[in-house]
A and B are shown apart, each in its own frame.
Chain A
Amino acid sequence: MNDSADDHPHVFPEGRKPGEILFAGLMVLSGGLLLAAITWQTAWLPGRGLAAQPRFWPAVSLGGIVLFGLLNFAARAGVKRTPGRWREALSWVLAVEYIGWYMVYVWAIPVIGYLLATLSFCVLLCLRIGYRGRALVIAALFGLAVVLMFKTGFNVRIPAGAIYAYAPDSIRYILYRYF
Chain B
Amino acid sequence: MDLLFASFQIIARWDVFAALMLGAIGGVIVGGLPGVGAAVAIAIVLPVTFALEPIVGLTALLGIYGSSMYGGAIPAILVNTPGTPVNALTTYDGYPMTRRGEARRALSLAYSASFFGAMFSICALMLLAPVLARIAPMFGAREIFLAALLGILLVVITHRGQVLAAAMLACLGIFLQTIGIEATAYTQRYTFGAGWLQSGIDLIVVVLGLFAISQALILLMDKDKTYTLPRIEKVSFLSQIRDLWIYRRIAAVGSSFGVFCGMIPGVGEFMSQFMSYSYAQRTSKTPEMFGKGNPEGIVASEAANNSVPPAAMIPLLALGIPGEELTAMMLAVFYVHNVVPGPQLFAGQMDFVMALYLCLFFLNIIVVGFLFFASGTLMKVMLIPSRFLGMMILTFSLIGVYSLRNSLTDVAIASGFGVFGFILKRLEYPTSPIILGIVLGKLMEDRLRTAMARVREPWDFIDRPIAFILFCMIVIAVSVQAWTVLRDRRRKKDEQDHPCDRNL
Are the C-beta atoms of B452 and A102 separated by less than 8 Å? no
- Residues of B whose CB lies within 8 Å of any CB of A are 48, 51, 88-89, 92, 159-162, 164-165, 167-168, 170-172, 174-175, 178, 182, 184-185, 187-192, 213, 216-217, 220-221, 274, 277-278, 281-282, 291, 385, 387-388, 390-392, 394-396, 398-399, 402-403, 406, 408, 411-412, 415, 418-419, 422-423, 426-429, 437, 441, 444-445, 448-449, 451-453, 502
Are the C-beta atoms of A13 and B182 separated by less than 8 Å? no
Which B residues are CB-close (under 8 A) to A34?
Answer: 175, 190
Are the C-beta atoms of B277 and A9 separated by less than 8 Å? yes
A29-68, CB < 8 A from B: 34, 37, 41-43, 45, 49-52, 54, 57-58, 60-65, 68
Which of A13, A37, A98, A157 is B161 in contact with, Cβ under 8 Å? A13
B-contact bits for A68-99, CB 8 A (1 contact / 0 none): 11011001000000000000100110111011
Which A residues are CB-close (under 8 A) to B392?
Answer: 142
Are the C-beta atoms of B395 and A142 separated by less than 8 Å? yes
**Is A125 part of the binding interface, using a Cβ–Cβ cutoff of 8 Å?**
yes
Which B residues are CB-close (under 8 A) to A118?
Answer: 395
Which A residues are CB-close (under 8 A) to B385?
Answer: 131
- Measured CB to CB, the nearest residue on chain B to A71 is B164
Are the C-beta atoms of A60 and B174 separated by less than 8 Å? yes
Least distance between B253 CB and chain A CB atoms (Å):
17
Least distance between A128 CB and chain B CB atoms (Å):
9
30 A-B contacts (beta carbon < 8 Å): A1-B502, A12-B162, A23-B429, A37-B190, A41-B188, A42-B189, A43-B187, A51-B452, A54-B189, A57-B175, A58-B178, A58-B190, A60-B171, A61-B175, A61-B437, A68-B167, A71-B164, A99-B217, A101-B394, A102-B394, A102-B415, A103-B412, A125-B394, A126-B388, A129-B388, A129-B390, A131-B385, A139-B388, A157-B403, A158-B406
**Is A25 part of the binding interface, using a Cβ–Cβ cutoff of 8 Å?**
no
Least distance between B158 CB and chain A CB atoms (Å):
10
Which of B221, B396, B502 is A95 in contact with, Cβ under 8 Å? B221
By CB atoms of chain A within 10 A, which of B92, B170, B411, B441 has the most?
A: B411
Is the interface on chain A under 10, 10 to 19, 20 to 34, or 35 or more residues? 35 or more
Roughly how many angstroms separate A19 CA and B160 CA in the complex, as a whole number? 20
Roughly how many angstroms separate A8 CA and B276 CA in the complex, as a whole number? 11
Are the C-beta atoms of A14 and B161 separated by less than 8 Å? yes
**Is A170 part of the binding interface, using a Cβ–Cβ cutoff of 8 Å?**
no
**Is A143 part of the binding interface, using a Cβ–Cβ cutoff of 8 Å?**
yes
Least distance between A74 CB and chain B CB atoms (Å):
9
Least distance between A68 CB and chain B CB atoms (Å):
4
Least distance between A26 CB and chain B CB atoms (Å):
9
Which B residues are CB-close (under 8 A) to A138?
Answer: 388
Roughly how many angstroms separate A72 CA and B165 CA in the complex, as a whole number? 6
Known: A9-B92, A27-B172, A42-B187. 10 other contacts (CB 8 A): A17-B427, A41-B190, A57-B175, A58-B178, A58-B190, A60-B174, A64-B174, A68-B165, A91-B426, A146-B399
Least distance between A165 CB and chain B CB atoms (Å):
18
Are the C-beta atoms of B221 and A103 separated by less than 8 Å? no
Which B residues are CB-close (under 8 A) to A115?
Answer: none
Are the C-beta atoms of B391 and A95 separated by less than 8 Å? no
Are the C-beta atoms of A62 and B423 separated by less than 8 Å? no
Roughly how many angstroms separate A127 CA and B214 CA in the complex, as a whole number? 21
- Measured CB to CB, the nearest residue on chain B to A110 is B406
Which A residues are CB-close (under 8 A) to B191?
Answer: 41
A49 with B217, Cβ < 8 A, contacts A58-B178, A61-B178 known: no
Are the C-beta atoms of B395 and A122 separated by less than 8 Å? yes
Roughly how many angstroms separate A105 CA and B274 CA in the complex, as a whole number? 43
Are the C-beta atoms of A61 and B174 separated by less than 8 Å? yes
By CB atoms of chain A within 10 A, which of B192, B277, B441, B448 has the most?
A: B448
**Is A163 part of the binding interface, using a Cβ–Cβ cutoff of 8 Å?**
no
Which of B164, B399, B402, B502 is A72 in contact with, Cβ under 8 Å? B164
Which of B187, B423, B445 is A23 in contact with, Cβ under 8 Å? B423
Are the C-beta atoms of A65 and B178 separated by less than 8 Å? no
Are the C-beta atoms of B419 and A96 separated by less than 8 Å? yes
Which A residues are CB-close (under 8 A) to B221?
Answer: 91, 94-95, 98
Are the C-beta atoms of A68 and B171 separated by less than 8 Å? yes
A68 with B164, Cβ < 8 A, contacts A49-B452, A139-B391 known: yes
